[in-house]
Amino acid sequence: MDNLIKIDEEKLSEYLEIWFNEADPTKDHFWNRNKVGKVIKKYLKILGKWKNKGRGNPKKGYKVYIENKKKKEEW
């Protein structure tokens, strides 16, 4: 623990700005494969600020899809 380096918060914020501008968080598995992204995600989950995207009820969505498909075929 003695050889830990104290990081300047201003420089850290600058580096994070650069990292977020260069990174593409919309890629599949970005938050699971990127080293910095994994750490950010881990601590956001602990704080309760990270939520998975709500996907709703898949069965209900499929039924609506089939109904809409039938309506389009009738046209």
Report pTM. Answer: 0.55
Residue 68 falls inside a structural domain: yes
Q: Look at residue 46 in the predicted model and tell me its pLDDT.
A: 85
Residue 31 falls inside a structural domain: yes
Does residue 1 carry a pLDDT above 60?
Answer: no
Distance CA 38, CA 21 (A): 17
Residue 1 falls inside a structural domain: no
Does residue 71 carry a pLDDT above 60?
Answer: yes
Reported as a single tens digit per residue, the pLDDT across 7-54 is 888 988 999 899 888 888 888 888 888 898 899 888 888 888 777 666
Q: How many domains, the chain?
A: 1
Tell me the DSSP string of 5-71: PPPPHHHHHHHHHHHHHH--TTSTTHHHHSHHHHHHHHHHHHHT---PPP---HHHHHHHHHHHHHH
Q: Look at residue 23 in the predicted model and tell me its pLDDT.
A: 87
Residue 3 falls inside a structural domain: no
Q: Look at residue 50 in the predicted model and tell me its pLDDT.
A: 72
59: domain range? Answer: 9-74
